[in-house]
Amino acid sequence: MENSIHEQVYIFFTTFYGGIIIGFIYDLYRIFRYYSKPKKIATFIEDLVFWIIVSFIALFILIFSNWGEIRGYVFLGFVSGAIVYNKLLSKIVIKILVYIVKAIIKFLKILLDILLWPIKILANLLYRPYKKVSSEVKKIIRKVKRILKLPARIVKDIKKYTKFILQKK
């Protein structure tokens, strides 16, 4: 199928925008990895998911723009779009996305504090009586242990003094 120059320019700019979209998704992925700090296996899985998503986007753009035909200018469009995004927009977009993520994290912390507030109050109300009961129980346990050791100490003292008394005779 022959494409006119107008169609080729349209396809090039569509793939150029696709490269920008892929660059944006890569920045999202970088921010996600920064905050999640994955281990080796999780990194492998995340990389795989990233490339599957990027492949679907590229395939969708190819099918949408030129019925899936692969030409040299298609690759050039994707690569140049990703490079332009990386050089011109990436730093700004990352700052904006980090700001948004920090705001979301701050909001979630506030929401969590609000949701846990009744539990904290209940825990503080129950802690003082628990501490008092706990200290009283510990005192009782120490007294019981002391009382239980008393017969053993008496037997030990009786043996000691009987030996001492028997030796004097």
CA 113 remoteness from chain centre: 18
Q: Per-residue confidence at 3, pLDDT binned at 50, 70, 90?
A: low
CB 65 within 8 A of CB 3: no
* pLDDT tens string 9-44: 888 888 899 999 999 999 999 888 888 888 888 888
163, pLDDT greater than 80: no
State pLDDT tens for residues 130-147: 788 888 888 888 888 777
**Sign, Cα dihedral of 122, 123, 129, 133:** positive
Q: Evaluate whether 9 touches 49 at the Cβ level (below 8 Å).
A: no
pLDDT of residue 52: 92
Predicted pLDDT of residue 34: 85
pLDDT tens readout for residues 68-127: 777 777 888 889 999 999 999 889 999 999 999 999 999 999 999 999 898 888 888 887
pTM for the predicted model, two decimal places: 0.64
pLDDT at 133: 80
pLDDT given for residue 168 in this prediction:
57
